[in-house]
Chain A
Amino acid sequence: MSILYKDDYLEKLKNAMLFHFSHKDILSTLEDVSLLFESSTADGKTEAELCRELGTPKEFSHSLLSNKSSNKFRPFLLCIYTIICFIMCMLTFCYPSFLLSIITLLIIPISIWYLEGSYCLLQVRPDTIKNYKIYFLFSIISLILIFIEQIFTYLLHNDIRISNSLIITTFYASSAFIIISIATLMTAIYKLHKGYYLSFGILPISIGAICSSLLYNDYIKRFSSPATSYNICSLPFILGLLMGVFYYWNILKKKDKKLWIHK
């Protein structure tokens, strides 16, 4: 085992606990372990010594997990939760209604926020980005789901009629604006001038896909040529996709910048 220090240990422990424990449990454990470090340092022990005595972060997490058997199914439950979110999106895209759009409007950002670990903010050093492959995995899964949704929408053709697409799009755009505003405010509060949020990469892609779907459904109402509408209506999605890819590319490229998650 390589020598670990407090910050590394807490970070690795947090990673090991993510998707297995509630956010409340993760927070309280990190707080407790942090207090242990402070007490042991005051007692003359080095951080490396305590890390050795605590066991590896994975072992620590497993000890906690063995004590909470019900949480072993947490990753599985999260997958079910993701599928439910996807079904909600599909329903909204294919059979839009004002109520459904509001429900989905709440579910999409909350699910992304929840899957990323939700409410607390912790710094992630760029060199430890490899530990966060799980987020990229979720982003890739979301991307694939959005692609499937797009194909599904195009296959539906004239059966879909949307009268309130402008309202729905406005709602999605507003929600995106609110999320970004809150994140910016939080960034300012925590003085994270160079911070990035992993989950934001998926946001322009999702909004692009939603706008594309809505545009397409409205467009084919007036014009019967699916081929033309396909090309024109794909533009928001392509634009969102490019923005999302650029966002992730920027994170990977600029190693000096801080990377943040909604932990």
Chain B
Amino acid sequence: MDSQMKRGILEMCILYQFLSTDYYGYDIMVKMKRYFPDVKDSTFYVILRRLNAEGYTDIYYGNTSNGPQRKYYRITEHGKKYLNTSLESWKQLKIITKELGIS
């Protein structure tokens, strides 16, 4: 898959996960790895970083009772708007490809 396209899809998938709950870096990587086993962890990290840099997510630190300190990511309002736009584009793309007989 084209890396640019893959990145866009991964971005959308990761942001979508943040709608339901906040995740720490490793947690979201493990979850995404189940669906995208060929993608390197570094790619997920780069996407997380980009989402944060663009202001689509913000971070906060949390502690678990016995475990290490964790850096949690949560979606921002700006991120929700961006996700909605991405989802709209994705739906349109699905309709177009279906009409073209792809899939």
Sort chain A's interface into a size bin: 20 to 34
Q: Which residues of A contact B19 (CB under 8 A)?
A: none
Instruction: Determine if A64 and B46 form an interchain contact, defined as CB atoms under 8 angstroms apart.
Output: yes
Chain A interface, DSSP helix/strand/loop, else mixed: helix
Q: Which residues of A contact B68 (CB under 8 A)?
A: 35, 38-39, 41-42
1/0 per residue, CB under 8 A from A, across B16-34: the answer is 0000000011110110010
Question: B26 CB to closest chain A CB, in angstroms?
Answer: 4
Contact of A35 among B40, B43, B49, B69 (CB under 8 A): B69
How many Å lie between the Cα of A66 and that of B40 in the bound state? Answer: 14
Question: A22 CB to closest chain B CB, in angstroms?
Answer: 12
Instruction: Determine if A63 and B26 form an interchain contact, defined as CB atoms under 8 angstroms apart.
Output: no
Cβ-based interface call for B71 (8 A): yes
Q: Which residues of B contact A41 (CB under 8 A)?
A: 68
Instruction: Determine if B42 and A55 form an interchain contact, defined as CB atoms under 8 angstroms apart.
Output: yes
Cβ-based interface call for B41 (8 A): yes
1/0 per residue, CB under 8 A from B, across A137-172: the answer is 000000000000000000000000000000000000
Among the interface residues B3, B27, B67, which one has the most CB atoms of the partner chain A within 10 A? B67
Which residue of chain B is the closest to A39 with respect to CB atoms? B26
Instruction: Determine if B46 and A39 form an interchain contact, defined as CB atoms under 8 angstroms apart.
Output: no
1/0 per residue, CB under 8 A from A, across B38-62: the answer is 0011110110011000000000000
Which residue of chain B is the closest to A60 with respect to CB atoms? B42
Which residue of chain B is the closest to A33 with respect to CB atoms? B45
Instruction: Determine if B46 and A67 form an interchain contact, defined as CB atoms under 8 angstroms apart.
Output: yes
Question: B66 CB to closest chain A CB, in angstroms?
Answer: 8
Which residue of chain B is the closest to A53 with respect to CB atoms? B41
Instruction: Determine if B40 and A54 form an interchain contact, defined as CB atoms under 8 angstroms apart.
Output: yes
How many Å lie between the Cα of A36 and that of B30 in the bound state? Answer: 11
Cβ-based interface call for B80 (8 A): no
Q: Which residues of A contact B24 (CB under 8 A)?
A: 35, 39
1/0 per residue, CB under 8 A from B, across A54-71: the answer is 110001100110110000
Among the interface residues A39, A40, A42, A53, which one has the most CB atoms of the partner chain B within 10 A? A39
Contact of B30 among A35, A43, A63, A66 (CB under 8 A): A43
A35-B41 contact in complex given A64-B46, A64-B49, C-beta closer than 8 Å = no
Instruction: Determine if A42 and B69 form an interchain contact, defined as CB atoms under 8 angstroms apart.
Output: no
Instruction: Determine if B45 and A35 form an interchain contact, defined as CB atoms under 8 angstroms apart.
Output: no
A36-B49 contact in complex given A53-B40, A55-B40, A60-B42, C-beta closer than 8 Å = no
Which residue of chain B is the closest to A36 with respect to CB atoms? B26
How many Å lie between the Cα of A50 and that of B49 in the bound state? Answer: 18
1/0 per residue, CB under 8 A from A, across B66-94: the answer is 01111100000000000000000000000
Question: B25 CB to closest chain A CB, in angstroms?
Answer: 6
Q: Which residues of B contact A127 (CB under 8 A)?
A: none
Q: List 14 A-B contacts (CB under 8 A).
A: A32-B71, A35-B24, A35-B69, A38-B69, A39-B24, A39-B27, A54-B40, A54-B42, A54-B45, A55-B42, A60-B42, A63-B42, A64-B46, A66-B46
List the interface of chain B (C-beta within 8 A of A). 3, 24-27, 29-30, 33, 40-43, 45-46, 49-50, 64, 67-71
| CB-based closest 10 A-B pairs | A39-B26, A38-B68, A60-B42, A55-B40, A42-B67, A63-B42, A53-B41, A54-B41, A63-B46, A55-B42
List the interface of chain A (C-beta within 8 A of B). 29, 32-33, 35-36, 38-43, 50, 53-55, 59-60, 63-64, 66-67
